[in-house]
Chains A and B, each alone.
Chain A
Amino acid sequence: ETGVTQSPTHLIKTRGQQVTLRCSSQSGHNTVSWYQQALGQGPQFIFQYYREEENGRGNFPPRFSGLQFPNYSSELNVNALELDDSALYLCASRAQREGETQYFGPGTRLLVL
């Protein structure tokens, strides 16, 4: 176990709705990244947060947004859900002082109907 937790474990939404996913970092980790993993594919980078600010973003539209809180926990928000947003959403945390190693949580499985 990595110490990274995510909630909920799974949920079902309908097209057009909004969703918020949550992540608690491993103790001492101040950087959080979010990834989207479609079925049968590798995870794709959405964005990264450090010191409560976004400091890197992948090829995802603005309806994907995030927050990082002073305790380093994080949220991923997706507005106007589309069917293609159905995926496993992973968060990964790391400590700046320890370099590049990222530790992943178990993910949230989102199904959009």
Chain B
Amino acid sequence: GENVEQHPSTLSVQEGDSAVIKCTYSDSASNYFPWYKQELGKGPQLIIDIRSNVGEKKDQRIAVTLNKTAKHFSLHITETQPEDSAVYFCAPRTGGGNKLTFGTGTQLKVEL
């Protein structure tokens, strides 16, 4: 199967706090795990991705961790800023091809 679940569906944090979003997937053949950020009226923007031969990847305030055994990966945003407010999607590659299966999204709100 190709189920992808994402939690939480909404997340509200104070500016400067950290935010963590978790994604679980069912396809054991998945080997590519991107996170996308989508702002209102725009297409999804890739913010970070990880491949199955790596457990963690960091890019400034953003990091992704992967637990392939448990079939989940998480997005970590530190020192959140108001411009981080958006909908975030995990989208593991599934089905053995290049199809991305998107989660249901997490609405992140960073409050001043």
Cα distance A35–B44 when bound, in Å?
11
Q: How many residues of B contact A (CB 8 A)?
A: 23
Contact B45 A104 (CB under 8 A): yes
Closest A residue to B97 by beta carbon equals A56
Give the dominant DSSP class at B's interface: loop
B1 at interface by CB-CB < 8 Å: no
| Chain B positions within 8 Å of A105 at CB level | 43
Distance (whole angstroms) from the CB of B110 to the closest CB of chain A: 20
Known: A31-B98, A100-B93. A41 touches B105 (CB 8 A): yes
- Mark interface residues in B24-46 (1 if CB within 8 Å of A CB, else 0): 00000000101010000111111
Cα distance A66–B31 when bound, in Å?
27
Distance (whole angstroms) from the CB of A45 to the closest CB of chain B: 5
A residues neighboring B (CB under 8 Å):
2, 4, 31, 33, 35, 40-45, 48, 55-56, 58, 90, 94, 99-107
B residues neighboring A (CB under 8 Å):
32, 34, 36, 41-46, 49, 89, 91, 93, 95, 97-105
